[in-house]
Structure 1
Amino acid sequence: MPLTLDSKLYTVSQLNRESKRVLNEHFFSVRVEGEISNLSTPSSGHIYFSLKDNAAQIRCAMFKTQLRRLKFKPANGLQVIATAQVTLYEPRGDYQLVVENLEETGDGALRMAFEALKHQLSKEGLFDASRKKPLPALPHRIGIITSPSGAAIRDILTVLKRRFPATPVVLYPVSVQGDNAKHDIVRALNLANTLDQCDVLILGRGGGSLEDLQAFNEETVARAIAASAIPVIAGVGHEIDVTIADFVADLRAPTPSAAAEHAVPDQREWQSRFIALETKLSQHLGRQLTQKAQTLAWLDKRLKQQHPGQKLAANAQRLDELELRLTRATRRKLLQCCSTLDTQSAKLHNQSPAHIINSLALQQHYLQQRLNNAWQRKFEHLHQRLNQAGQTLHAVSPLATLNRGYALVTDTETGAVIRSTRQIEKDAVVLTRLANGRFTSRVETITEE
C-alpha cells in the first residue's frame, strides 16, 4: 500500500507533543522485564537508567516519590520488572519509560536475598566455628534428609556401602525443591532430633540453579540446622554451589557423595589399622612370653639348687637343740625368781608398818582428848567474858537510863537529839522515846533554867 503524504506541516515541538499523546493513550501502563544498566543518581533524588535485553534497550526515569516505596536498592546488572508509562521526553525527543514500580526477578532477586540473609545470620554468629559440633568418629546410625527419588540418595548410599556398610541408615524423605521443600526439611530436622536415633545427619540434594536450591537458602532451614543437637553435614549441589545451609551446618561437603565420605570412616583404612595393631600386639605378646619363659626357667633352676628339704632337716635339728636350751634356761630362771621372792617377802615382813600404825593410832586418841579439853576450857573462858561485857554494856546503855524514868527527845525533821531548849522553837514537833514506846508532841512553852 503506497504511503500517503500528510499535507499538515508540523513543527518539531508539535510532532513530539503528538507522538507523546499517542504513546500515552496506547501504552498507559505496561510491565517490562529487563536488566538495569547506565544507572544515574543525581542529587535531586530521582534515578535514570536503561532497561536492556539481548537485542535492545530503552531509557527509563523513576522519580523519588516512587523510589521511596521500593524494598531494595536498584543497581546495575539487576534483573527487574518495571511497571511504567510509555512516554516521550519532548525537549529531546527521547522515547522513554516513566517507572512507577520495580520488582526484582530471577536470580538477581534471589541473589540479593541470599546475601542479605547471609549477612544477618553471620552477624548473629550462626556461622562461627566455635559453635560447630564435632562429628562422631564411628557413628552408630546415620540420618539422611533428602528426596527418596533423587540421585543424591543413590550417591550417598553407594558411598556408605563402599566405605562402611555395617552402619545403619535412617531416611527422612523430603521434597528438595518447590514451595513446600523448606517446611519438609525443617520438619525432618526436628523429627530426627526428637527421635534421637542418629549420631549424624546428612542434608543433601543434587545440583541446580539458584532457584532450584532456594529451599536450602531459607532462614527457617538455617535456624533449624543451627538448633539441631545432632551434627549436620550439608552436601548440597555441586562443588561450585554454595547455600546458606552450607555456612550453618557443622560441616560443608561439596557434594552429597562427599558428605557420605565425611560421615563414616573407610573400612579398608580401619581394617589396615586393625591388622597393624594385631601384628603389633602379637609381637608384643611374643616378646612378653619369651621373657617370662626365660624368667621361669631361671627361677626353676634356683629352686632346684636351693631345695627346701635340706634346709628343713638342718633347721629341725637346730630347733630341737634350741628347745632343750630354752627348757633349761626357763627352769633356772624360775628357781632364781622363787629365791628372790622369798628374800623380798622376809624383808617386807620385817619392815611392815602395822606396829607404827598402832602407835600412831594411840597417839591420835590422846591428842584428840587434849584438844577436846582445851576447846572446853576456852569456851567457858569466852562465855564468862561475854557475860561480863554484857553487864558492862547494860550499865552504860541508854535503855537502862530510860528504865529509870528518863526520856530521849529528837527532832522529827533532822533526827538530832535535843539536849537544850536552844535547839528547839515554839510549835516545833519533837519525838519522845520512853523505855516502853514513843510519842510525838508539839512545843508550846519553852523555859530556860
Structure 2
Amino acid sequence: MADHVLTPSQLNTLARDLLEGAFPLVLVEGEIGNLSRPGSGHLYFTLKDARAQVRCALFKPKSQWLKFVPREGLKVLARGRLTLYEPRGDYQLVLDTMEEAGEGALRRAFDELKAKLAGEGLFDAGRKRALPAFVRRLAVLTSPSGAVIRDIVSVLRRRFPLLEVELLPVPVQGEGAAAQLRAMLQRADASGRYDAILLARGGGSLEDLWAFNDEALARAIAASNTPVVSAIGHETDFSLSDFAADLRAPTPSAAAELLVPDAASLGLRVDGLQRQLRATHGNTMRQRAQRVDHAFLRLQARRPQARLDALAARAAQARARLANAIQRRLERDNAALRHADAILRACHPQRRLLQARARLQAIRGRPQALLAQRLQHATLQLRGLVRSLHAVSPLATVARGYSILQHADGRIVRSTGDAAAGERLEARLHHGRLLLRVEGKQDS
C-alpha cells in the first residue's frame, strides 16, 4: 500500500490542529528577546531561558492592557495558547496576558487572601462607616518625601484652607512597611484627635504596592473607630486596604477632593443660607409686629372710656330701632282702621239695599236672553235635520218623475211577485195619487 502524499501546507495545517487541540492554556516564564514593535501595534518576541526559546505574539487589542513596558532582557510570566504559523512552519505562543515575573505569584496570593477576608464579611458595605459632613482634622499616613503628600496638601489648601492636616510619616513599600503602617494607623485611631484617616501612596507595580495587601493591616483598617479612606496607586490599582477601608478613592488627589467641600461652592451655599436667614428673620419680625398691633388694638378696646363709648353707641342704635318699630306699628294700625271703616261703610243697610236691587235687575234679564239664545240654537239644529231628512226621503225621488206603488194597507210593492192579478194598488206621485188595478203580470 502506497503512503499518502501531503503538501507542506497540508502538513502544517495538520500540525497546527494537533498543537491547538493537545495543549490548553499554558503559563510560560522566561526572558524577553528579539523584541519587535511593528506599526500595526502588535508585539513579537521570543521567550527564552538558558537552553531554549519559543516565538510569541501579543496582538494589539491585548497589548494595550499591559501595566508595564516590555523591554529586552525583562523576565515575564506569559499566558497563552500554542499554535503553528503555517506559512513558515514555525510554532508559536499567542498570548492573552503578560506580567512581570514575580507578580504572578503575588497575584495568586492577593486573590486567595481577598477571597478569605471577603468570606469573613470584612469587606461588607454594611460595616463601613460614613464620613463626617465636615472633616476638621485629618491624619495622612504616607511617605513624607514623595509627591503624594504635596498633591494632597495642594488640593486641600485650594478647596478648604480651614482643614487641619497632620502628616503621620510612614514607609509605603519595602520590608517592614506593612507593620509600621498598621502601628501608625492604630495610634492615630486610639488618639481620638482625627475626624478621618487617609492612607495614600502613588502608583507602582503589584510588588511595590504589596505593603497595602497585608492581612493584619486590612484587619486593623476594618477595626478602626475612625473612618478610613484608602487611596493607593492609580485608578486601575486595587489593594486589600481599598476593600477594607470605609471609602476608596481612585487617586490620592481624588481622595483630597472627596474629603472636603469646595470653598467656593461652600461660600455660595453660605450666601444662600444667609439670604434665607434674612428673609426668614424679616418675615418673623413682620409677623411679630402684626401681633403687637393686634394686641394694642385689643388693649385699646378694653379701656373703660372705650367700653362706655361702645355702650353709648349700642344704646343709640337701640333707640333708633325702637323708633322705627313704633313708626311701623302706627302705620299698620292706621291701615287697619281705614280697612275697618271701609267694611263698616260697605255694611250700611241703605247701601246693601241698593246693591240687592241692582243684582235683582240683572237676574231678571238673564232668563229671557238665555231662552232666546237656546231657541235660536234649536232652530238651527232643526233646519239641519230637515235638510238631511229631505236628502234621503223617497219624496225627493218621486219629485223627479217616479212613483211609489203601495198596497191598500200601505205596504210597498217592490216586485211583480208582491201584487196579484185584479188587486187594486195605489200609485203615489209628486202631486196626488192614482188608483190602479192589476190586469196581468209579466216577469222580466
TM-score, normalising length: structure 2: 0.48
